Amino acid sequence: MASILSAHKICKSFSGVQVLKDVEFDLREGEIHGLVGENGAGKSTLMKIIAGDYKLDSGELRFEGSPIRLKDPTDSLNYGIRIIYQEFNLVKTLSVAENICIGDYPRNRFGTIDRKAMNAEARRILEQLGEDIDVNRRASDISVAQQQIVEIAKTMRKNCRVLIMDEPTAALNDQETVKLFQLIRRMRDNGASIIIISHRLSEQFELTDRITVLRGGCTVGTVNTKEVSNDRLVEMMVGRELTEMYVHSKHMPGEVLLETKNLCVDEQVRHISLKVRRGEVVSVYGLMGAGQSQLADALFGSLRIRSGEICYKGQTLRMKAPADACRAGIGYITEDRKADGLFGNLNVMENVSAVSLKRYAGPAGVMSKRKEREAFDKWVKKLNVRFGRVEQRISSLSGGNQQKVLIARWLSNDVDLLIMNLPTRGIDIGAKAEIYALLDELCAGGMGVLVFSLEMPEILGISDRIYVMCDGEITGEATSEEATQTLLMKYAVAKYLK
Amino acid sequence: MEQNKSGTMTKLKGFLNDGSLLLVIVILCMYFSVKSPYFFSFKNMMNMLISVSVIGIAATGFTCTLIARGPDLTTGAMMALSSCMAALLVSHYDMVWYGAVLVALGTGALFGLANGLLITKFQIAPIVVTLGMMSVVRGIAFIFTNGITIFITEPHLKWFGSGKIFGINAAVIIMILCFLLLSFVTRNTIFGRKIYACGSNPAASRLAGIKVNGIVTVLFTLSGFLSALAGLVLAGISSAALPSAADTYNMDVMTAVLLGGTALTGGEGSVVKTLLGLLIIGIINNGMALLNVPSYWQTLAKGALLIIAVVYDRIRRMMQATA
């Protein structure tokens, strides 16, 4: 197969920091090509260069063998290069058809938009994709999976030779993912060449023909998907063998920290009874949408409970707001770091001390900067948070370091129980391993940890006990010795089988 | 090696962040001093400070509400109402001066509280609530006074504008105290930290155990109180209270605060920088008046300056973003 798009010796720096160094990349005509690497490996930068969004410092892009220069995104569109970002670029207030035809609406003879032609055009493209979406609906009213289809339809309208998709399945459930993959394969069979950026290696194995691995801004290599093993790929990504990804040692469980008795949150989440003891990592597994997030929110007082009881350290805990949970000594890491965890325009230290302010203040509420700094130094050292200056905005840190800052926020308030919802979402492998090790250490120190996760290997790797939820109820419980992927999955679909 | 280079960069950026307003002030002062020898005299500087004191007092509270959630547009109207109330209660209802002052300040706090509660209980945008309240308060001022001007003869009420402590005008001292106090509170107290947290990310604040609604309510109450205080100073300076007073002050307060770099999007800003923004406005107005530039040009200069400042701020941020 001939090469359609290739990159040679691409270098790119941002204000002195080299992000890409002599990167080689080759996309063949009619293949699905996976691009993997830890966060910060340079995947997005490389793709933005190919899409004409960033200018390269040195090196060369070739399209069908001949060198090309891209000054801006329009240039790449002329070559038929399209990119769908992880955050979609749909105008939520416009209709599906308006979004698909955006930028080049069909006109009637008065020069205004020919809605009929536009809708017909949109319908035609969606039909080609084998999709049935009402083109008159507003983009905000359709599901995430449908929004993705609309994004693809947008790219299909004009000639599309190369399609780049950044984490296309991040927001999709399993069935939607299967459907998307079918669609991607069909596009390949119709002659498009596709680049898939995804953390999920299983998807890379399922979908791609070849995979290129980037690490630290350099190309590690390109492999045929059929000829590579999962372990080998991970090794290429991290540059070392990660046999000890999950750290989990057995601790003597102590007193019961958290206990719920027949807890009902709303219609969706019912009859939850669970226990977390000191020195334990307890996990809650479930397929997406089984009610884990609501449960996590309720345990932290962020959602009001309808009936039942939450006991903490043997006493009933009535919570009106998260402030009550904070006071009791519970910490909570939410699933969406950016939306409801981080204070984006505050600095690293202010982010750490947000909960524990009282500890650094006198009776009048006047803060001691020295005390605050001491505590901060202690925790960032313990958690190995990597940052430049204390005054640096938290938003400039990598996902892994942001997550560590959020953990430090709670630890600095001496919490006894840490609830973590999707603890390693959007975090590179190195930082993941560090967080697992940290959780183990915290338990050894007598804390209790309650993890909500969608990743089965993670749950099996770090938990002492596992609860499984299905359709808002707990359908099974297993110890780490009993638990297997099959068993957990059996519980996770228990109510769907009947 | 790298350390050193980035160190200088940091310093440069730090200066762009913090030093640029100061630099503008120094340049303006130098320019006007050369043009008019009277400019840098104690008397003129004091006049300049008196002229911005009313705006300055209100701007301290405004800065805090803007950092936490949004603008308090009731400010100007509240000044008018509080000055009218104090003057009228003393002259027509024979109330003792401190009683009138307390009632005026209390009224300011009360309307501020109403703003805060409407914003937090019904989750309405502050700009909407305070815009409505602006008209309500202004209307009350007119109804209360029947639209007439009340001249102030009571010496204590006059003191707010023209009294002197160690040769410094009371209006200026009150303003400086407000700046000192709120700058301390925002920088050095738990409450101050929570203000920034609320503005930066309300959802995260709630989950960090911060009572966002309480803080926002307190801030709007405070802003109402400070506006009322500014109104008393205004009445003292002009020896009169009129319900139509301070009608452009909202915008002047906002200009000073934005010039100082407080972001409309929340979570960013500082009371000290508001003071610098305020001084720039004061110096320009004062200097231009000394040079006999017609006041129309002062208005134009103020607007142009704000736009330049915001553009400058954008450029600075873009530089930061690429760093």
Name chain A contacts of B211, Cβ cutoff 8 Å.
Answer: 321, 323
CA B48 – CA A356 distance, rounded (Å):
43
Q: Give start and end residues of each alpha helix (H) in A332-428.
A: 337-340, 348-352, 369-382, 399-411
Residue extents of the structural domains in chain B: 53-280
Name chain B contacts of A389, Cβ cutoff 8 Å.
Answer: 10
Name chain B contacts of A14, Cβ cutoff 8 Å.
Answer: 322-323
Cross-chain Cβ contact B196/A350 below 8 Å = yes
Cross-chain Cβ contact B189/A325 below 8 Å = no
Chain B nearest CA to A364, separation (Å): 8
Q: Which two tokens stand for residue B119?
A: 């914003």
**Angle, helix B295-322 to helix B249-259, in steps of 10 degrees:** 30
Name chain B contacts of A350, Cβ cutoff 8 Å.
Answer: 193, 196-197
Q: Answer whether B157's CB lies under 8 Å from B235's CB.
A: yes
Name the closest residue on chain A to residue B196, using Cα atoms: A346
Cross-chain Cβ contact A367/B193 below 8 Å = yes
Name chain A contacts of B5, Cβ cutoff 8 Å.
Answer: 16
Cross-chain Cβ contact B190/A367 below 8 Å = yes
Chain A nearest CA to B96, separation (Å): 33
Q: What is the pLDDT of residues B161-178, one digit of tens each?
A: 888 888 899 999 999 999
Chain B nearest CA to A156, separation (Å): 33
Name chain A contacts of B194, Cβ cutoff 8 Å.
Answer: 357
CA A427 – CA A400 distance, rounded (Å):
5
Name chain B contacts of A370, Cβ cutoff 8 Å.
Answer: none
**Residues of chain A whose C-beta is under 8 A from some C-beta in B?**
14-16, 300, 302, 321-323, 325-327, 332, 334, 339-346, 350, 353-355, 357-358, 361, 364-367, 369, 388-389, 409
Which of A300, A340, A369 minimises the CB distance to B204?
A340
Going by C-beta distance under 8 Å and a sequence separation of 6 or more, which residues neighbour residue A178? none
Name the closest residue on chain A to residue B200, using Cα atoms: A343
Residue A415 is classified by DSSP as -
By C-alpha distance, which of A149, A176, A151 is closest to A91?
A: A151
Which of A327, A350, A364 minimises the CB distance to B193?
A350
Q: What is the pTM of this model?
A: 0.77
Cross-chain Cβ contact B190/A350 below 8 Å = no
This complex has an ipTM of 0.85
Name the closest residue on chain B to residue A394, using Cα atoms: B200
Cross-chain Cβ contact B209/A325 below 8 Å = yes
Distance of CA A481 to the CA centre of its chain: 29
Which of B190, B204, B322 minimises the CB distance to A14?
B322
Alpha-carbon Rg for chain A in angstroms: 25
Q: Long-range CB contacts (< 8 A, 24+ apart) of A11-16?
A: A11/A56, A11/A57, A11/A58, A11/A59, A12/A42, A12/A45, A12/A49, A12/A54, A12/A56, A12/A57, A13/A57, A14/B322, A14/B323, A15/B322, A15/B323, A16/B2, A16/B5
* pLDDT tens series, chain A, 498 aa: 688 999 999 998 875 667 788 999 999 999 999 998 876 678 888 998 998 888 889 999 999 989 998 888 888 888 989 898 877 788 888 999 999 888 788 888 888 888 898 999 899 888 887 788 898 999 888 887 888 888 888 888 877 899 999 888 877 777 788 888 988 998 898 889 999 998 777 888 989 999 999 987 889 999 999 998 887 887 787 765 445 678 888 888 889 999 999 999 988 899 999 999 999 999 999 877 788 889 999 999 999 999 999 999 999 999 999 999 999 999 999 988 888 899 988 999 999 999 999 999 988 889 999 999 999 999 999 998 888 888 888 887 888 889 999 999 999 999 999 999 988 887 777 788 889 999 999 999 999 999 999 888 888 889 999 999 988 899 999 998 898 888 888 888 877 765
Q: Answer whether A154's CB lies under 8 Å from A122's CB.
A: no
Name chain B contacts of A354, Cβ cutoff 8 Å.
Answer: 193, 197, 204-205, 208, 210
Q: Which two tokens stand for residue A208?
A: 């791609």
